[in-house]
Structure 1
Amino acid sequence: MPSAPQVPQWDVHRLPRAEGKSFLVTGGNAGIGYFVAEQLAGTGATVVLGSRDMAKAEAAIASIGSHIPGAKVKHVPLDLADLASLKASVDALGLDRLDAVVHNAGVALDHPLRRETADGHELMFATNHLGHFVLTHHLAPLLTATPGSRILTTGSFAAKSERLDLDDLQSTHEYQPKRSYSRSKLAQMLFALELDRRLRAAGSTTLSVLVHPGGALDSLTPSRPPFHVRTTGKRLSHLPLGLLVQGKDAAAWPAVRAVLDPSVHGGQMLSPRAFGLRGTPRIEPLWNHLADTTTAARLWAASCDLTGNDLTFTTPTRFGETEGPATGRGEADTSTG
């Protein structure tokens, strides 16, 4: 019998070309999101940085242009904590199709005082989870118009040991900054997997993929002036940590692979190869509590209620009509397809 064809190993330094494609990266002006944007720009795609700070976005665009000659990068105002503004942000994209969105932006607070958005939502849960939930709702027509489009959600290793409290999603009764952050990231991860189940149930070709970047330090990250400058002293002093964690450029690899690799499927999780903390990206088995479909469906229903948005996808037919909506509230088909 003929042997199965060999699948080439993914090479983080030889990315496939993506001319003609458009990608949106939330929080693409700094940190890991910047390197996701820079690496995607190197494929020839158009990359949109979603950021609430225009000056930082312009600095990031200039930096990407200096490293990727001819890069096609632009900015759209995006404030995930302001749910009512997100439709205008999507309209400002000026696109009629979108190949992928990377839900990367996030906020982590270490100050002990609990903070709320203007809508009355706890700030980390609102920004990290609810904002991306509503953004996906408004992006749905652009993603549906693009066969094989992808929604990438960035989780966190910090969520591995956490569990959601469905009766206190916004940490109203018990607020500890680190725990609230970890739970907001767990909510994102459960959302990504529930979204893929609903997309499969609707017959959509759009994929929802989960990634987490592992451990990343500024001191191990290449300089990108003016927003990140690494001194030789800092790099040398933290060099031993490179055995355990990595720079933010390498932490971007799971998301970049999830956007570009045709072998990646919906409902999968990509993470760094070495203990989920560093190294080249691989497909990692889901953590046990991420397979809890009951909790994920209840979180989905709560997210619909809190935001007033029923996130649905419909499948285009060959005649340009749509059919097969993915359900909003309530239980979803739990098949993984």
Structure 2
Amino acid sequence: MAATWTDMCPPSPQFTEANMSDQFGRVFLVTGGTSGIGYETAKTLYHLNGTIYITSRSESSALKAVESIKSSLPHSSQVIKPGRGSISYLQLNPSDLRSIKSSANELLKKEKRLDVIIHNADVMLPADPKQKTEQGYHQLGINVLAPFILQHYLTPLLLSTASLLDAKAFSTRVIWVSSSGHRASPAPDGVAWDNVNLEGTDKKAMNVMLAYEFARRFQDNGNRILSLSLHPGALKTGLQGNLPRWFYAIFGRLRYETRMGALTECWAAIREIDIGNGEAGLLGNKTRGENGGYVVPWGRWGEGHEGVMNGLIEKGTGERLWGLLEAILMEYM
């Protein structure tokens, strides 16, 4: 099953710009922030006074997005007074795995803290099905390998940020954008272990698995980092530009404006966690409402595909995937 009914027709959002707090002094990295959900998320965080970096392989598209966000207005429901945010771009080419270390180092030169990473950059169906990264990978390269390398180099800065006196527990976060498509990933674990470079929905399952495994690996950190995966919603974005016409005929009316996806991402990225109610606890025998969990539109705790989650909890598939990716990417890390 590729999506549940509430994935396709979620209830009205309970966390909007009217509920969002001032983000002044906090630093955010939003990959793929020049268009679609990433753009809307970056715009929202900018008007909440955050320090925002968006990534792009193209300087011209990045500058265009930066200027567009600077000249935009906050949503009419926002209560925080805007005007203290900043936004700039970071050159990042996920199609060339060799270049990602230098991109990460560029950010490390500019910032002494990093509060939130949103791994948002994605490719769904490329115009050329044979399109590959420079290292010969298809969707695996952009959707999984590139963010994994970037995270590798930026995790130390996240850890140091989480230990700062002004950093609340679980306010430092890593968000791995997946989709409801992970529900159609290969049985039983969500990954085609014999050929991980096959095109398909297991790339989305991998992002769910990486969120869980990151949380597991760093759960004993003093001021813990919150790691979540999410389905942003069925949205009108450029990702579906190469899908067949029948898709639009059937599902077109069930697609929402991109701002709604930004609400999902912001819920995961900046909503305050009520630890007293058991949210974001240490990983146990479940993942709903816990560190490593899965978020659904438009900002709610959800449950990932049963097979994927059972594999993580019962068979350690997150650790297996992490080790596999480290082996594949040894020369770039």
- Decide: shared fold, TM above 0.5: yes
1:310 is displaced (CA, Å) by 10
> Do residues 62 (structure 1) and 67 (structure 2) align?
yes
Q: CA deviation at 1:96?
A: 1.5
Distance in structure 2 (CA, Å) of the matches to 1:282 and 1:154: 14
Q: Does the CA contact (< 8 Å) of 2:233 and 2:260 recur in 1? A: no
Identify the residue that residue 286 of structure 1 maps to in structure 2.
Answer: 304
CA distance in 2, matches of 1:114, 1:202: 42
Distance 1:268 1:310, change over 3 A: farther
- Superposed, 1:184-223 pairs within 5 Å as 184-201=203-220, 205-218=224-237
Q: Which amino acid aligns with 2:175?
A: L
Partner of 1:139 in structure 2?
A: 154
Asked if residue 32 in structure 1 is aligned to residue 59 in structure 2, the reply is: no
Which residue number corresponds to residue 160 of structure 1?
183
Which TM-score applies when normalising by structure 2? 0.74
Q: Deviations over 1:228-261 (max 9, x none)?
A: xxxxxxxxx99x955x331111111111111111
Deviation at 1:14, TM superposition (A): 3.2
Q: Structure 1: which 5+ runs fail to align?
A: 1-8, 172-179, 220-236, 273-279, 312-337
Offset at 1:43? Answer: 0.9
| Superposition map of 1:35-46 within 5 A | 35-46=40-51
Q: 1:169 to 1:201 in 2, by over 3 A?
A: farther
Provide the rounded CA distance (Å) in 1 between the counterparts of 2:221 and 2:233: 32
Distance 1:43 1:309 in 2: 39
Q: For the residues of structure 2 that align with 1:201 and 1:209, how far apart are their CA atoms?
A: 16
User: In 2, distance between residues paired with 1:281 and 1:249?
Assistant: 12
More relative contact order, 1 or 2 (CA 8 Å, 6+ apart): 2
Identity of aligned residues (%): 28
Cα distance in 2 for partners of 1:204, 1:159 equals 30
Residues 1-337 of structure 1: pairs in structure 2 closer than 5 A: 10-68=15-73, 70=83, 71-93=85-107, 94-110=110-126, 113-120=129-136, 122-147=137-162, 148-163=171-186, 164-171=191-198, 180-201=199-220, 205-218=224-237, 241-242=252-253, 244-263=254-273, 265=280, 266-272=291-297, 280-291=298-309, 292-293=311-312, 294-308=316-330
Scaled by the length of structure 1, the TM-score of the pair is 0.74
Cα distance, 1:97 vs structure 2 = 1.2
Q: Write the letter of the residue equivalent to 2:184.
A: S
Question: Corresponding residue for 1:277?
Answer: none
Contact 2:98–2:332, Cα closer than 8 Å, also in 1: no
CA deviation profile, 1:195-230 (whole Å, cap 9, x unmatched): 1111115556112111111100159xxxxxxxxxxx
- Between structure 1 and structure 2, the one with the greater Rg is 1
Give the 3 Å change call, closer, same or farther, for CA 168–58 of structure 1 in structure 2: same
More helix by share: 2
Q: Which runs of 4+ in 1 moved over 6 A?
A: none
Which amino acid letter does the alignment assign opposite residue 150 of structure 1? R
- Kept in 2, the 8 Å contact 1:137–1:309? The answer is no
Q: Give, as a single letter, the amino acid of the residue that structure 1 aligns with 2:97.
A: L
Partner of residue 10, structure 2? none
Distance in 2 between residues matched to 1:247 and 1:119, nearest whole Å: 35
CA deviation map 1:28-54 (0-9, x unaligned): 011111001011111101010011111
Q: Which runs of 5+ in 2 are unaligned?
A: 1-13, 74-81, 163-170, 239-247, 274-278, 281-290
Superposition CA RMSD, Å: 2.4
SS in 2 for 1:168: coil
